Chain A
Amino acid sequence: EIVLTQSPGTLSLSPGERATLSCRASQSVSSNYLAWYQQKPGQAPRLLIYGASGGATGIPDRFSGSGSGTDFTLTINRLEPEDFAVYYCQQYGSSPNTFGGGTEVEIK
C-alpha cells in the first residue's frame, strides 16, 4: 500500500499570500494519478486537481498542481478567505487507493 505523507500539518498564512502544500509518496505513483481535495468544516470534500496537474471543473485557476513520481505539490496563489480549509492528497494509480493525512491552511 502506498503511504502518502503531507506536510506541513498546518500552514498559517494571510489572505493574498501563496500556499505551498507537499504530498510525498512511499513509492512512485502510477501514471501520476494523484488528486487533491479541499474540505471545509462540516462539508464534504471537493475535487480540485486530478492527474497531478489537471484542474477539476469549476476550480479557480489560482489552484495548481505539479510534481511526478513520489513528490507532488499543490499551490494556491493569492489566498482568498474561502480557501482556508483542510487539503488532502490521494493516489488512485495503485490498489488500494490511499489518502494523505491532510494539511490545514489556517488564517494567520
Chain B
Amino acid sequence: EVQLLESGGGLVQPGGSLRLSCEASGFTFRSYAMSWVRQAPGKGLEWVSTLSATGGSTYHADSVKGRFTISRDNAKNTLHLQMNSLRAEDTAVYYCARGGDSYFLFDHWGQGTLVTVSS
C-alpha cells in the first residue's frame, strides 16, 4: 500500500523559513516523480513544485520560484520542501503527492501538513 507521510509544518513568522518532509513507503520511491501541492484554508488546490525521479529536473510555480526548493533523498525514501522568505499567502496545508503516468498527474497523496505564516 502506497503511503506518504508529511511532517515539518507549523507556525512561522513572515520572512522565516521552514522545511517540510514526506516519508514514502509501499512503492519504489526512486522510480517516481514527486510533488508538493498546497491548499489555503477554505480554498482550492494549487500545485507548488515537482521533482523528477532522479532529481535531475525540478519545476516550481511562479508564486514560489526563487523562495522554495524541492529535493529528495532516494536512499531514505524522503521528499523535502525547503521554504524561505515565507509570506502570509503561503499559509496552507501542504500535500506530498506521487506522480503517475505524467509527472503532474497525482495518483497518491499524503494527509498533508499545515503551514501557518503569521506574526
Interface residues of A, Cβ cutoff 8 Å to B:
33, 35, 37, 43-47, 50-51, 56-57, 88, 90, 92, 95-102
**B103 to nearest A CB, angstroms?**
8
Interface residues of B, Cβ cutoff 8 Å to A:
37, 44-47, 59, 61-62, 95, 100-112
List, sorted by A's number, 19 A–B pairs whose CB atoms are closer than 8 Å: A35-B105, A37-B45, A37-B106, A44-B109, A44-B110, A44-B111, A45-B37, A45-B109, A47-B105, A50-B100, A88-B44, A90-B45, A92-B103, A92-B105, A95-B59, A96-B59, A96-B61, A99-B46, A99-B47
- With A44-B111, A99-B46 as known contacts, state yes or no: A50 contacts B101, CB within 8 Å: yes
Count A-B pairs with CB separation below 8 Å.
Answer: 54
